[in-house]
Amino acid sequence: MYLDMLSEMVGLLGKGDHEHWKKWFELAQKYYVEDCHDKSFEKVLGAYGGMGSFNDVFWNLSKPDFERLEYVKGELWSYAKLKLQ
């Protein structure tokens, strides 16, 4: 589930030409695949919060893609937060 969500996030970010954040989540994917799960979760959580964070981006996406991105964004955050407790 987590890896699928990361893949979907990378795809959505690619659609919106958000290369910085796409690379960010590709790295989280890489960490997870390499069995560095905590490092992946930390990378995901590091995208959220603060000025200039993932939460501050204007998403250049269609409405359905934007809505899906918002859903995936929330699910990834929740899952990573849960796993690091």
**What pLDDT sits at residue 36?**
95
- Distance CA(17)–CA(3), nearest Å, equals 21
- Distance CA(61)–CA(65), nearest Å, equals 6
Closest residue by Cα to residue 5 from 82, 84, 78, 83: 78
Q: Are 84 and 41 in contact (CB under 8 A)?
A: yes
**What pLDDT sits at residue 59?**
83
- Distance CA(13)–CA(38), nearest Å, equals 23
Q: What is the DSSP letter of 50?
A: S
**What pLDDT sits at residue 40?**
97
**What pLDDT sits at residue 50?**
78
Q: Are 39 and 31 in contact (CB under 8 A)?
A: yes
**What pLDDT sits at residue 44?**
97
Mean pLDDT by 10 residues, the chain (85 residues): 96 92 97 97 92 83 94 96 94
**What pLDDT sits at residue 73?**
95
